[in-house]
Amino acid sequence: MGVSDEDLHQEVKARLGRIDQLYTRGRQALVEALVGAGTPLTLPALLEQAPDLTQSSAYRNLSMMEQAGVVRRLVHGNDHAHYELAEGLTGHHHHLICRGCGAIRDVTLDRQLERSLDVAFARIALDAGFRQATHDIDVYGICGNCAAD
Amino acid sequence: MGVSDEDLHQEVKARLGRIDQLYTRGRQALVEALVGAGTPLTLPALLEQAPDLTQSSAYRNLSMMEQAGVVRRLVHGNDHAHYELAEGLTGHHHHLICRGCGAIRDVTLDRQLERSLDVAFARIALDAGFRQATHDIDVYGICGNCAAD
DNA sequence: TTGCGTTTGGGAATCACTCTCAATAGCATC
DNA sequence: GATGCTATTGAGAGTGATTCCCAAACGCAA
């Protein structure tokens, strides 16, 4: 279920170290912004949260931290992608997304249903000759704000 | 579970008519290419299947047919989106996606599991004040080809 | 402090996709 | 089947999120 907040930075540093990357100030700022928001953020939102960051470095570092297994990039349309901490640092969850404004919030399924899904997906992957299956569930709807036209 | 192949074009025409659009030759070619493939296609793949189509018209028509509820656009990364027939014309299904090459294939869950998910998602949407919830499940893995480096 | 490899910043480049607009097709009427 | 009129098409320019480039700044070791 993720790690305690005080261990988080240690874990991030370790994951970066595994691909020979330092945990620099700018990267820490990105991680803190993501932790603070508690919900997936777009790049402009991240820059707003942490105004010291520059666009190109933020993109570069997010991409690198995605490879390091520190952040996850969510793509749901043509506008900006959203970024969040990787599941290993937070806990397995899914997303509820507004078709109107694109806002994303985290949701979880109960343990038993999640287990049934794991079984079903494992079988699907096996039958298709796929390995290392993970899954990604998005629930789409219209949020209260957008429903009010 | 979708409609029979002979009724498909009638249904597409009806859906286009609802937003005052004609079912032109180029649009028919797009639909036939999607039917023929049986799996979601990128725009370049569509143009390869139907070489008479031009890029801008294909994009324009796909976008318009998405609004008409005829096709669905799938976005899973930074490369080309994939297009498939909308669920009303095919049947509810999900996707198994290779993290290596991006290939997508359709998969289905058994009816009971799907029903459990509907209940869970309806509750999640309700609690969050969302309406018209649908869901989208992606299983990611490494396909046989890509596993062989 | 001196070196030296790593990271940063800012602007140019990329690329999927959308827009524009003149030419063409589709359809109805005469 | 010619005519007129609206919808659609095609080719290329435009857009915008993201990536690339490379000189300047940083961070660590000796």
Asked if pLDDT for residue A16 goes beyond 80, the answer is yes
Q: Which uninterrupted H or E stretch holds B92?
A: none
- Which tens digit of pLDDT belongs to each residue from A118-134? 999 999 999 999 998 89
For residues A106 and A74, give the distance between their C-alpha atoms in angstroms, rounded to a whole number: 12
| Other beta carbons less than 10 A from residue B88's beta carbon | 14
pLDDT on residue B126: 94
Asked if pLDDT for residue A71 goes beyond 80, the answer is yes
Q: Name, in order, each residue with C-beta under 8 angstroms of A4's C-beta and a sequence gap of 6 or more.
A: none
Which residue is closest, via its CA, to the C1' of C11?
Answer: A56
Ordered structural domains, chain A, with CATH: 1-90 (1.10.10.10), 92-149 (3.30.1490.190)
pLDDT on residue A100: 86
For residues A49 and A53, give the distance between their C-alpha atoms in angstroms, rounded to a whole number: 9
Chain B, nearest residue to A111 by Cα: B120
pLDDT on residue B148: 80
Residues in chain B with CB shorter than 8 Å from the CB of A141 are 125, 128, 130-134
Predicted confidence band of residue A53 (pLDDT cuts 50, 70, 90): very high
User: Distances from the Cα of A85 to the Cαs of A31, B16, B49, in angstroms?
Assistant: 8, 42, 40
Residues in chain A with CB shorter than 8 Å from the CB of B139 are 121, 124-125, 130, 133-136
More confident residue, B147 or A14: A14
From the CA of A62 to the C1' of D19: give the distance in Å. 12
pLDDT on residue B78: 84
Any strand C atom closer than 7 Å to A53 CB = yes
Asked if pLDDT for residue A27 goes beyond 60, the answer is yes
pLDDT on residue B4: 62
CB–CB of A31/A109 below 8 Å?
Answer: no
Hey, which residues does A106 pair with through a beta bridge?
A: A95
Distance from CA of B78 to the nearest CA of A (A): 8
pLDDT on residue A3: 57
CB–CB of A95/A74 below 8 Å?
Answer: yes
* Closest among A120, A105, A73, A78 to B137, alpha carbons compared: A120
Q: In what order do the strands lie in the sheet with B41-42?
A: B41-42, B82-85, B71-74
Kindly list the averaged pLDDT for each block of 10 residues, start to end, along chain B of length 149: 72 94 95 95 96 96 97 93 95 94 92 95 95 93 86
Bases of chain D within 7 A of a CB of the protein: 7-13, 17-21, 27-28
For residues B32 and B18, give the distance between their C-alpha atoms in angstroms, rounded to a whole number: 20
A73, amino acid identity: R
Chain B, nearest residue to A80 by Cα: B78
For residues A114 and A93, give the distance between their C-alpha atoms in angstroms, rounded to a whole number: 10
Chain B, nearest residue to A121 by Cα: B139
CB–CB of B4/B90 below 8 Å?
Answer: no
3-state SS record for A43-110: HHHHHHHCCCCCHHHHHHHHHHHHHCCCEEEECCCCCCCEEEECHHHHCCCEEEEECCCCCEEEECCC
Asked if pLDDT for residue A4 goes beyond 70, the answer is no
Whether A130 and B110 lie within 8 Å, measured CB to CB: no
Mean pLDDT of A51-79: 95
Predicted confidence band of residue A149 (pLDDT cuts 50, 70, 90): low
Q: What are the φ/ψ torsions at residue A39 (nearest 5 degrees)?
A: -145, 155
Q: Which DSSP string corresponds to A107-141?
A: E---HHHHHHHHHHHHHHHHHHT-EEEEEEEEEEE
